[in-house]
Amino acid sequence: MEYKIEINNQEEIYDVGSVAKHASGAVLLKIKNTVILATVAREDKAVEEDFLPLTVNYVEKSYAAGRIPGGYIKRETKPGDFETLTSRIIDRSLRPLFPKGYGYPTQIVVFVLSCDAEVDLQVAALNAASAALYLSDIPVNKSVSGVRIGKIDDELIVNPTNSQLKNSTLDLYVAGTKEELLMIEMRAVSSIRDGHQLVNEMNEEDMVEAINFAANAISDASALYEDVFAPVKKTDAELEYKASIMNDDIYLHIKENYKENVYAALTQMAKSERALELKRVLETIMSDETVISANWSREVVKNALEAFKHNIVREMIVKGRTRADGRGLKDIRDISIVTNILPCAHGSCLFTRGQTQALAIATLGSDQDAQMHDMLTEKTSRVDKFMVNYNFPGFSVGEATPLKSPGRRELGHGNLAKRAIEPTIDKNSLYTIRLVSEILESNGSSSMATVCGSSLALKAAGIETQKLVAGVAMGLVFEDGGYAILTDIMGLEDHDGDMDFKVAGTKEGITALQMDIKLGGIAPEILKEALYQAKEGREHILGLMEEAASKIVINEEILPKFEVFKVDTGKMVDIIGQGGKTIKEIIEKYDIAIDLDRESGDVKIAGINRLQVDAAKKHILDIVNNAKSGFDRGGRGNSRDRHQKIVEFEKDTIVDGVVKKVVEFGAFIGLPGDVDGLLHVSKLAEGRVNKVTDMINVGDRVKVRVLFQKGSKIELALESKE
């Protein structure tokens, strides 16, 4: 049965009961030409451990865009970053809805079966997954809605198309129910106006306005979903929920006899010391005669101690207006900044805030180093010249865990830092930039330490960003009708608080925000107060960062250099030389990479030594300025070459050839008549080709089309390879 829903600037058609009937819940969602299948399945036996065993997998099928997967294996394999981040968004939005004590292994799977280039897949995927969960026999009685908010010409727009989003200065994604918000992600988008790049930070007032705008759209949508789907919702399954492992008698015993011990443990300054002292308190309680005679189990005592500690932490904050480490609510831990501590790295910064430490490293590369992403909503691969990688080894929290590839948390934190910093980087930068954050210590918001350290690492590498960016993690605790907003939370406060959110930006405003709300709704007034308190903290950190930036000594000797200049397109052949000899000699002599654009006349030179790059540029300009007309330019070629009659090919003629030589910028093809033509790398395929040898190799027989001929200069395009 189909249900058409007109909401938030789009028509959504939900097909219920037609597919995946063995699943606990399933829907087929259609928005324009996008079709998404969302299913929910659960096991009948609950796990013994006390946690919610929920798995979310968002998968994009290549056939959805009429493609065959690239690479050696022609099928979908490892999920891409976009798929992983979308799975994380769905998980964070739906996990809070499950009943307390629910322990049945549950899997939410979302398949993109057909893709319309204008439809926001993250919004559609969450709405489909929520509908499948709501319709299932799992006792979830609230519907979640996701919306994206854009800002075009200073006007807020709900669910802009992908084309509209490219012109937006704001990208705000919010998920929630009709009563409360659950998850917020935001990034500012830089733009060009009157020849100048604008960072487009959002001030706190505008941020609250945009979130409220999203909340209203979500409330309307969620209420409508529930009205439409309630009649066809499955009857709730009869499930057993895990009882809270709590004993009031033990809790009271701890409160009456060990309150001072718990206080003493909590006020230990080091995270490791605090954990060790709490463990000692547990051992003391277990040896208590009352505990032994009552035969209370270690697990039950441990849970009671954890609950008591949880309440003590919250009481200290809300009523005592102080924190376990002695700080006031707005105080930021001591910060230490050291730049360029790695002699062979292009730029580095060791950023330490309390017991959280991030080593950020910037590496500069050329266009060839850019990361390529295949996006279903885009016809060609997206080239990403700015990357942020976040690594979280076990030793950062004192654990001996094996090193493994980054998980969803690592990808999410890296993406947050990227969103925060990217608006400050010149859109026309010649560099491909990779930032890596190695977390060496962690006790509270290593992602925000990554933002601060990475912004300074860029400065240390000589990158002229428009502004420095700092980040701070905030907390919120509600207790007995009162509340407290915390600046720069540590791990203990993150664990025992009601909400944590991360705010990054410049002195002028917010560039990125991430918020997960544990307690439900939050009043706009409290949200505004929290954002302004975050601004105070951010400005304090930025002051320290500016002082550190003023003392940076850039290691000019190891920094690469890129030069871009134009030459007459007719002189490109002189730079290349017969058979690529000239350009090869330049590359080898100066240890550089050269990229020639034969249509625009752009010459790009990249090298690890600035003096060598300058010398190569001079060499090329000398060749161009001294080039003579005809084939014998610069005295090259022998008498046979100069007097041999050149075979003439008509434009667009298809001829057979053999690959004689492969160079970085293309290949030289032997043609009938004992002449060679140049097949530039840009003419190998419609999309970007990383390496010529990915397409052709020496000895391959090919069919080529003649694009242009002037004397011995013949330009070709690849038609096919035998």
Please state the rounded mean pLDDT for residues 538-555.
Answer: 96
Read off the pLDDT of each residue in 462-481 and give the average, rounded to a whole number. 92
Residue 16 has pLDDT above 80, yes or no: yes
How high is the pLDDT of residue 627?
Answer: 67
Residue that wins the pLDDT comparison between 218 and 243: 218
Q: Could you state, in order of their start, the residue ranges of all structural domains in the chain?
A: 2-232, 248-318, 335-556, 560-641, 646-721
What pLDDT score was predicted for residue 481?
A: 82
Q: Tell me how many degrees the CA angle 398-399-402 measures, rounded to the nearest 5.
A: 140
Mean pLDDT of 373-392: 90
Quick check: 499 and 521 in contact, CB under 8 A?
A: no
5, 225 Cβ separation under 8 angstroms: yes
Q: Where are the beta strands (DSSP E) in 117-169?
A: 145-152, 155-158
Q: What amino acid occupies position 101?
A: G
- What pLDDT, on a 0 to 100 scale, did the predictor assign at position 521? 66
Q: Of the candidates 234, 438, 445, 460, which has an alpha carbon nearest to the alpha carbon of residue 332? A: 445
Confidence (pLDDT) at 644? 46
Query: What pLDDT score does 269 carry?
Result: 65
Stretch 628-657: mean pLDDT, rounded? 58
Please state, as a whole number, how many other Cβ atoms lie within 10 Å of the Cβ of residue 114: 18
Rounded Cα distance between 536 and 82, Å, is 33
* Cβ pair 496, 314 in contact under 8 A: yes
The CATH class that applies to domain 560-641 reads alpha beta
Model confidence at 71: pLDDT above 80: no
Q: Which residue has the tokens 């969803």?
A: 408
Residues 6 or more apart whose CB falls under 8 angstroms from that of 305 comprise 254, 262, 278, 281, 282, 285
CA dihedral 305, 311, 312, 314 (to 10 degrees): 150
Mean pLDDT for 151-161 is 96
What pLDDT, on a 0 to 100 scale, did the predictor assign at position 375?
Answer: 87
- Provide the 10 A C-beta neighbour count for residue 531: 22
What does CATH list as the number for 335-556?
A: 3.30.230.70
Q: 510 vs 558, which has greater pLDDT? A: 510
The answer, yes or no, to whether residue 636 has pLDDT greater than 60, is no
pLDDT for 64: 96
Contact 603, 596 (CB under 8 A): yes
Confidence band, pLDDT 50/70/90 cuts, at residue 629 = very low
646-721 homologous superfamily: Nucleic acid-binding proteins (2.40.50.140)
For position 645, what pLDDT does the model report?
Answer: 53
Domains 2-232 and 335-556 share a fold: yes
pLDDT at 451: 98
Q: Which residues contact 437 (CB under 8 A, 6 or more apart)?
A: 358, 359, 360, 361, 388, 389, 390, 391, 414, 417, 446, 449, 450, 453, 454
Residue 589: pLDDT band (50, 70, 90) is: confident
Classify domain 2-232 at the CATH class level: alpha beta
Length of the chain: 722
Decide: residue 686, CB within 10 A, 0-12 exposed, 13-18 middle, 19+ buried.
exposed
Amino acid at 646: I
**Hey, how many other C-beta atoms are within 10 angstroms of the C-beta on 124?**
26
Per-residue confidence band for 642, with pLDDT thresholds at 50, 70 and 90: very low
Residue 227 φ then ψ, to 5°: -65, -40
Q: Tell me the percentage of the chain whose pLDDT exceeds 70.
A: 96
Name the DSSP class of 521: -
Q: Which of 138, 98, 140 is nearest to 239 (CA)?
A: 138
Residue 106 near residue 42 (C-beta atoms within 8 A)? yes
Ordered alpha helix ranges (H), 501-554: 524-550
Spatial separation of the C-alpha atoms in residues 691 and 684, rounded to whole Å? 10
Q: Determine the distance from the C-alpha atom of residue 383 to the mean position of all C-alpha atoms in its chain, rounded to a whole number.
A: 14
Residue closest to 579 by CA, chosen among 444, 698, 495: 698
Q: What is the pLDDT of residue 633?
A: 39
Instruction: Tell me the average pLDDT of the chain.
Output: 90
- What letter represents residue 16's amino acid? V
In the predicted structure, residue 137 carries a pLDDT above the cut 50: yes
Q: What is the pLDDT of residue 520?
A: 62
For position 698, what pLDDT does the model report? 87
Closest by CA position to 131, among listed 174, 93, 173, 179: 93
In one letter, which amino acid is 523?
A
- Cβ atoms of 40 and 56 within 8 Å: the answer is no
Provide the percentage of residues in the chain whose pLDDT is more than 90. 59
Distance CA 310, CA 583 (A): 69
pLDDT confidence of residue 372: 86
Indicate if the pLDDT at residue 669 is higher than 50.
yes
Give the type of residue at 123. Answer: V
pLDDT above 60 (res 632):
no
Which has the higher per-residue pLDDT, 348 or 242? 348
- Is the distance from CB of 421 to CB of 458 less than 8 angstroms? yes
Instruction: Give the pLDDT of residue 173.
Output: 98
| Secondary structure class of 644 (helix, strand, coil) | coil
Query: What are the respective helix, strand and coil percentages of the chain, to the nearest 5?
Result: 35, 30, 35
Cβ pair 680, 715 in contact under 8 A: yes
Q: Judge whether residue 687 has pLDDT over 80.
A: no
Helix (H) or strand (E) holding 280: helix 271-286
One-letter amino acid at 12 equals E
Q: For the packed helices 271-286 and 259-266, what is the interaxial angle rounded to 10 degrees?
A: 160
Burial status of residue 435 (CB atoms within 10 A of its CB: 0-12, 13-18, 19 or more)? buried
- In DSSP terms, 57 is beta-bridged to 109
Q: What is the arrangement of strands in the sheet containing 602-607, beginning at the earlier edge strand?
A: 561-566, 602-607, 592-596
Residue 239, token pair as written in the block: 């499930």
Max mean pLDDT range (440-449, 494-503, 599-608, 672-681): 440-449
Whether residue 423 is predicted with pLDDT greater than 60 in this model: the reply is yes
Tell me the per-residue pLDDT of 285-324, one tens digit each, with 9 for 90 and over. 999 898 899 888 888 899 899 999 999 999 899 998 999 8
* Amino acid 538: pLDDT: 97
State the pLDDT at residue 267: 83
Cα–Cα–Cα angle for 451, 452, 456, rounded to 5 degrees: 115
Q: Per-residue pLDDT for 664 more than 80?
A: no
**pLDDT number for residue 666:** 84
Q: Are 38 and 27 spatial neighbours (Cβ–Cβ below 8 Å)? A: yes
Of 33-42, 95-104, 261-270, 524-533, the range with the highest mean pLDDT is: 33-42
Which position has the token pair 């604008």?
Answer: 198
